[in-house]
Amino acid sequence: MPSAPAKEPVPANAAEAIGRQRESGSPSARSLLLTILGEFVHPRRGEVWTGTLVEAFGALGIEEKSARQALSRVAGEGLMSSTRHGRRVRWQLTGAGDQLLREGTERIYGFMRQPHPWDGRWLVLTVRVPESQRQLRHRLRTRLTWLGMGSPSHGLWVVPDAGKQDEVRAVIEELGLRERAFAWTGTATTAGDPATLMAAAWDLNDVEKRYLAFIDQFEHLRAPTARDAFVNQVNLVQKWRWFPFLDPDLPCELLDHDWPGRRAAATFHDRHERWHRKAQAEWERMDDEAGQRS
């Protein structure tokens, strides 16, 4: 008999989900599970056998116990539910899980996809949250960082993209901070140095090092077999998904040298396209075999 569906909470936000993964350092089993779900399960009606996920984790060097714990954790968060078919279990994405992965996919694959012209305007936001409200402060920081904003000083957020004012307004209203926030747009004056502002708002040196490491790892990586393609694809997406948090995607007018972001984005999309067919075929094989087991 089908198990009772889990009660779904308010849909999780992709920014907050990926933000927790980024802050944890090395990829956890849960983090890898969300990457696998977004890349292989979400496009297939959001359904997958337990055995498929266990084998997929094994290919990535993750033991079965950790795979099952990750599944239980994601189910406990209301992102997946399960149905028993004899001795086998079939998992389905819930509405919250579907929304989370859809938001994340749009952001991850759209990030730095196309160059955008800059009209010279900045969006500036002031909003203060007391130290005692740590969870609210964390959610605000995560959501604004997801939009590419940086904080050069306490309570102040900036981004060289006035077109994001509607998205920022939505975050402020969703978090109940309308009475504590004020925002405006405009061009910078000659009173300050934009480079100093950017250095305070974002750790661009660290971002650049990460881009170069990403290029070095994946630009010439090959996948002789379908299993190699699957493993490479998961690792590729897992590494790339952090960059929307790290890089504000600054206009070229504000960068004083050949920024490696565009080259890294080209590497991501090129490798992803090259490995896609074989990686998907390997997933189909694993899921077919899992479905045939008694």
- In whole angstroms, give the CA distance from residue 120 to residue 122: 7
CB–CB of 211/264 below 8 Å?
yes
- pTM of structure: 0.86
pLDDT score for 189: 80
- In whole angstroms, give the CA distance from residue 48 to residue 40: 9
Compute CA distances 243 → 18, 262, 290, whole Å.
10, 12, 34
Q: Long-range contacts: 226-230, Cβ < 8 Å, 24+?
A: 226/278, 226/279, 226/281, 226/282, 226/285, 227/59, 227/282, 229/275, 229/277, 229/278, 229/279, 229/282, 230/56, 230/59, 230/275, 230/278, 230/279, 230/282, 230/283
- Would you list the domain boundaries of the chain? 14-108, 121-187, 203-275
Please state which CATH class domain 121-187 belongs to: alpha beta
First to last CA, the chain: 16
Tens-level pLDDT at each residue, the chain (294 residues) = 344 433 433 334 655 655 555 444 446 899 999 999 999 999 999 999 999 999 999 999 999 999 999 999 999 999 999 999 888 899 999 999 999 999 999 999 999 887 778 999 999 999 989 889 999 999 999 999 999 999 999 999 999 999 999 999 999 999 999 999 999 999 988 777 888 999 999 999 999 999 999 999 999 999 999 999 999 999 999 999 999 989 999 998 998 888 999 999 999 999 999 999 999 999 999 999 998 875
- Tokens for 53, please give them: 């996920």
- In whole angstroms, give the CA distance from residue 48 to residue 91: 5
pLDDT score for 4: 40
pLDDT score for 15: 57
E strands in the chain: 47-49, 80-85, 88-93, 121-127, 150-153, 156-159, 181-187
- In whole angstroms, give the CA distance from residue 193 to residue 46: 49
- Tokens for 293, please give them: 């087991």
In three-state secondary structure terms, 126 is: strand
183 bridge partner residues: 125
Pick the CATH number of 14-108 from 1.10.10.10, 3.40.50.2300, 3.40.50.180, 3.40.50.740: 1.10.10.10
**CA dihedral of 258, 233, 217, 60, whole degrees rounded to 10:** 150
| pLDDT, tens digit, 9 for 90 and up, residues 152-194 | 999 999 999 999 999 999 999 999 999 999 999 999 887 778 8
- Residue bearing tokens 């849960």: 30
Task: Name residues whose C-beta falls within 8 Å of residue 200's C-beta, 6 or more positions apart in sequence.
Answer: 150, 152, 153
- In whole angstroms, give the CA distance from residue 104 to residue 140: 18
pLDDT score for 11: 38
Cβ burial of 205 (10 Å; 0-12, 13-18, 19+) is exposed
pLDDT score for 7: 40
- In whole angstroms, give the CA distance from residue 188 to residue 48: 51
- Tokens for 277, please give them: 């067919």
Half-sphere exposure of 66 (CA within 13 A, CB side): 15
pLDDT score for 121: 95
